[in-house]
Amino acid sequence: MNRNTSPNTVLGISGSPRKGGNSDILLHYILKGAEAARMETQPVYLRDIDFSSCTGCERCRKDKICTGLQDGFTPLYPSIQQSDALVLVSPTHNYNITALMKAFIDRLYCFYDFGDTRPRPWSSRLAGQGRRAVIAAIAEQEHKEDMGFALDALRLPLEALGYEIVDEVAVFSIFDAGGVKHHPDLLDQAMEAGRRLGRTHP
């Protein structure tokens, strides 16, 4: 797959339904770090997009892109294909990522190719291109186990798609909207995660 945009582009995805909250702030600082590493960035706030979750229609197996749904997600596909890196940030809801972020990840199913044998072999058309990612999750509670599967739910699908996870940011004990702004150590960690996206560019 050829990428026609300028090199070193990052697509940043916030899966928070709450505008201006901790997820948005962390995304801002991660992208700020990427910009410091001379990367171009594009933030996306899923709550502002009218889109549906994957229906499992399987039309993408033939069409190689999602054609079963034409909605607010459709214009995102070129940005995903043409970007060098992804940043996914989600608050923790019930030991997992938000429904918005899960729906985003499920809509990436169209990038898989499957064989016809059983069990079906599969591959990703995004793999083998030096793509990288940073993931981040925020939890109100103070212990890692209270974050549940949130980081795994971000990491495992991206790795399956062919992304190298260059950094993970886990934030605990913060719930109040904007509370992360009062923790400069966490903001520095987020910026450094963004810088790593630039340093690991092939």
DSSP letters of the chain? ----SPSSEEEEEE--SSTTSHHHHHHHHHHHHHHHTT-EEEEEEGGGS---------THHHHSS--S--STTTTHHHHHHH-SEEEEEEE-BTTB--HHHHHHHHGGGGGEEE-SSSSPPEEETTTTS--EEEEEEE-SSSSGGGGTTHHHHHHHHHHHHT-EEEEEEEE-S--STTGGGG-HHHHHHHHHHHHHHHHT--
Whole-model pTM? 0.94
Q: Is position 2 within any domain?
A: no
Q: Is position 125 within any domain?
A: yes
Give me the number of domains the chain comprises. Answer: 1
pLDDT in tens, 126-180: 999 999 999 999 999 999 999 999 999 999 999 999 999 999 999 999 989 899 9
Q: Is position 119 within any domain?
A: yes
What domain range includes position 56? 12-199
159: domain CATH number is 3.40.50.360
Collect the ranges in the chain with pLDDT lower than 70. Answer: 1-7, 201-202
Q: Is position 30 within any domain?
A: yes
Q: Is position 174 within any domain?
A: yes
Q: Is position 6 within any domain?
A: no
Q: Is position 1 within any domain?
A: no
Q: Is position 110 within any domain?
A: yes
